[in-house]
Amino acid sequence: MTTTVAVIGGGYGGTTVAKELDSFADVVLVEPREDFVHHVAALRGLVDPEWTDRLFYPYSGLLERGRVLRDRAVSVDQGGVTLASGERLVPDFVVLATGSAYPFPAKIDFHDSASAKAKIRATREELAGAEKVLLLGAGPVGLELAGEIKAVWPEKTVTIVDPATEILAGFPDEFRAEIRRQLDDLGIELLLGTSLTEAPVSEPGQAKTFTSGLSGGGEVTADLWFQCYGGAPHTAYLDGELAAARQANGQVEVTSELRLPGQPRVFALGDITALPEGKLAKVAGDHAEVVVANIRALIEGGELRTHTPGGPMISLPLGPSGGATYAEEVGVLDAATTSEIKGAHMMASRYDELFNVA
């Protein structure tokens, strides 16, 4: 009899786990989306029509033996997984890989790909007609989106507002200074230590001119705005004994072997984990390697592997040829290197390979 594994969530971590377990376990990957969405490239997909279609990879190319169930886990407890369809899975192992939500356009809220593409195209049209764009949030998403907009429409006014007094907390000054220098060169206005005194009159991504005061003094006028903050882990389905691992912020406590405490057959990885490290596809991939090795060790015997959280790292493009990268091992890398790492191709080749897309 083969070991059964239910992987809940087919994002960066879940697809890697499912693919690697496929040859030695019976895998069911549960995912409500029609296609894998390459969210790392979502902001390029908004501004560049050629990239809109490239964000979507059919799950049919992922697994040879296992199956992908287009469904959603509504309750996961120590005994198994209940799906929105009513089906109950009782696998030998469960891997929780449900990631996090983030406001559009960084993450795409529709599960069917035709509606998702239609929303991206409609928002691009609104954006194309807007002269002044306001981005609320100067984190990686706000900064990357500003760079993408300027790369396609250099004449637009792009303003970023954030109540924090500095961008990219937790990264070294040298990295922040390089990003700020490039933002200046691109003419992107960065208003820090301040926030809007009135809520925008329009929905995010819908063109409608408005003016708001700023808490730090002055005002800002925009034709369109986007919310670039507010990620939240998807873990509301944790039930029974598993609910104890869910922290107040929605993240899930894990052991160094990436299991829920006291739950030898339930693993968790990626954005949902309460580990002190960046919430990155790269990190979800590292977690996936440990989870696969540990499930294999539990099936075949052998030592369990542990995961040690890494230091801060980021590759932050500002358009296809700008931006900067930081990791402790390499320090600050320049725009040309950042373009090679991410900006020029948005890391698509890895997913072309994973999903068997020519």
Ligand X SMILES: Cc1cc2nc3c(=O)[nH]c(=O)nc-3n(C[C@H](O)[C@H](O)[C@H](O)COP(=O)(O)OP(=O)(O)OC[C@H]3O[C@@H](n4cnc5c(N)ncnc54)[C@H](O)[C@@H]3O)c2cc1C
107 binds ligand X (CB under 6 A): yes
30 binds ligand X (CB under 6 A): yes
Smaller CB separation from ligand X, 121 or 201: 121
- For 283, which DSSP code? H
72 binds ligand X (CB under 6 A): yes
Residue 105 belongs to what H/E stretch? Answer: none
Using CB under 6 A, pick the residue from 178, 223, 271, 286 that binds ligand X. 271
44 binds ligand X (CB under 6 A): no
Stretch of residues binding ligand X (CB under 6 A), selected from 10-18, 206-214, 318-326, 350-358? 10-18
- For 339, which DSSP code? I
Specify whether the CB–CB gap between 45 and 55 falls below 8 A: yes
147 binds ligand X (CB under 6 A): no
Using CB under 6 A, pick the residue from 57, 237, 351, 355 that binds ligand X. 237
Contact partners, residue 117, CB within 8 Å, separation at least 6 = 52, 53, 56
Using CB under 6 A, pick the residue from 22, 24, 32, 232 that binds ligand X. 32
Q: Give least dist CB 280 to ligand X, A.
A: 3
102 binds ligand X (CB under 6 A): yes
Contact partners, residue 330, CB within 8 Å, separation at least 6 = none
Stretch of residues binding ligand X (CB under 6 A), selected from 3-11, 127-135, 208-216, 289-297? 3-11
Using CB under 6 A, pick the residue from 12, 59, 93, 225 that binds ligand X. 12
Specify whether the CB–CB gap between 40 and 280 falls below 8 A: no
45 binds ligand X (CB under 6 A): no
62 binds ligand X (CB under 6 A): no
Q: Which residue is nearest to ligand X (CB)?
A: 11
43 binds ligand X (CB under 6 A): yes
> Between residue 159 and residue 218, which ones bind ligand X under the rule CB under 6 A?
none
**Rounded-to-integer distance, Cα 270 and Cα 97, Å:** 6
Contact partners, residue 102, CB within 8 Å, separation at least 6 = 141, 230, 231, 232
**Rounded-to-integer distance, Cα 171 and Cα 167, Å:** 9
State which amino acid sits at residue 320: P
Smaller CB separation from ligand X, 213 or 231: 231
141 binds ligand X (CB under 6 A): yes
**Rounded-to-integer distance, Cα 337 and Cα 103, Å:** 29
Using CB under 6 A, pick the residue from 6, 8, 63, 95 that binds ligand X. 8
Q: Give least dist CB 185 to ligand X, A.
A: 21
Distances (CA, A) of 97 to 9, 276, 279, 351: 5, 17, 13, 17
Q: Give least dist CB 102 to ligand X, A.
A: 5
> Between residue 313 and residue 332, which ones bind ligand X under the rule CB under 6 A?
315
Q: Please give the structure tokens belonging to residue 150.
A: 């300027």
What DSSP assignment string belongs to 42-87? HHHHHH-HHHHHHTEEEGGGT-SSSEEE---EEEEETTEEEETTS-
Q: Give least dist CB 226 to ligand X, A.
A: 11
Stretch of residues binding ligand X (CB under 6 A), selected from 4-12, 53-61, 115-123, 320-328? 4-12
Q: Give least dist CB 217 to ligand X, A.
A: 31
Q: Which has the closest alpha carbon to 135: 218, 224, 215? A: 224
14 binds ligand X (CB under 6 A): yes
Using CB under 6 A, pick the residue from 222, 254, 284, 295 that binds ligand X. 284
Q: Which has the closest alpha carbon to 281: 11, 85, 8? A: 11
The count of residues interacting with ligand X (CB under 6 A) is: 36
Specify whether the CB–CB gap between 324 and 332 falls below 8 A: yes
* Residues of this chain that bind ligand X (CB under 6 A): 8-14, 30-33, 39-40, 42-43, 72-73, 97-100, 102, 106-107, 141, 234, 237, 270-271, 279-282, 284, 315, 342
